[in-house]
Amino acid sequence: MPLAVTRSIVRPSGTTIRFLFGRNLLGQSGRKEKCVWMGHGTFVATTARQYQSSSDVAGAIAAAKAAASAVMAAQRQVAAAKHAALEEQSFASSKEAEAAHAAHRSEEAARIARAHALQAAQAAVHAQAQLASAKARAAAAQRIAAAREAAAARAIQRAAENQAAKLQSADLEALKLSVLQSSGAAGAASAAQHAASAAAAALKPWNPSWNGWNPGYAASKGPWSWS
């Protein structure tokens, strides 16, 4: 590749300007630019009549410098825009990470809340089961107590009935004994009275007026009994 290439531009006035394009013309190392030749300070722009003055060359050089400055400014703006874009991207990434972390925390909190709710429900079910078991035990204890009370009442009733039967039997026996004793005493008294009457009659002198058995007298003396 040649170190420099000449190009020509024809102005409307008829002036022909030749530009020399080549490598390292702006003094920037390692880059290849297309610009007006600056190596010797001037270059020739010829016309059919005469050479132009060096002021045109200076204007072109100034324009090239301005263009280079504009390019550099644009590059700086591009770099700043890239930097701002990177910062925005980093900020967005951090916000996204924060949102993801917050979502993870929220999900973890929801999971913990669900676990606590499940534990509470299980505890409630267990408490209800314990309450039902306690009620069943209390009902069974009440039934057992009622059965024992009924058995005790029956036992007391049987004992009372037995005692009443014993007392009634004892009363009957006592009554029988009393009747027997009363009958024996009455018989003994009648026999004693009869014996006394007989003794009195034997001791009494004989009365010829007594004429045998007198039913009225016997009836007035009461019933006779023999032992």
Segment 118-130 mean pLDDT: 91
Which carries the bigger pLDDT value, residue 192 or residue 2? 192
* Its pTM surpasses 0.75: no
| Residue 112, pLDDT score | 92
Question: Please, which residues have CB within 8 angstroms of residue 190's CB and are 6 or more apart in sequence?
Answer: 223, 224, 225, 226, 227
| Residue 125, pLDDT score | 92
The DSSP element (H or E) to which 52 belongs, if any, is none
| Residue 206, pLDDT score | 52
Is 80 exceeded by the pLDDT of residue 149?
Answer: yes
| Contact by Cβ (8 Å): 31, 12 | no
In the structure, what pLDDT confidence band is assigned to residue 162 with cuts at 50, 70 and 90? Answer: confident
Handedness of CA 151, 152, 153, 156 (dihedral sign): positive
Listed by start position, the domains of the chain span 1-52
Strand partners, 51: 46
Long-range contact set of residues 52-59: C-beta below 8 Å, sequence gap at least 24: 52/15, 52/17, 56/17
Is 60 exceeded by the pLDDT of residue 224?
Answer: no
Per-residue burial over 14-50, b = 16 or more CB atoms within 10 Å of its CB, e = otherwise: ebebebbbbeebeeeeeeeeebbbbeeeebebeeeee
Terminal Cα-to-Cα distance of the chain (whole angstroms): 184
In the structure, what pLDDT confidence band is assigned to residue 195 with cuts at 50, 70 and 90? Answer: low
Place of tokens 């078991």: 133
pLDDT digits (tens, 9 = 90+) for 20-58: 554 444 433 333 333 343 333 334 434 333 344 556 777
| Contact by Cβ (8 Å): 15, 27 | no
Is 50 exceeded by the pLDDT of residue 188?
Answer: yes
In the structure, what pLDDT confidence band is assigned to residue 227 with cuts at 50, 70 and 90? Answer: very low
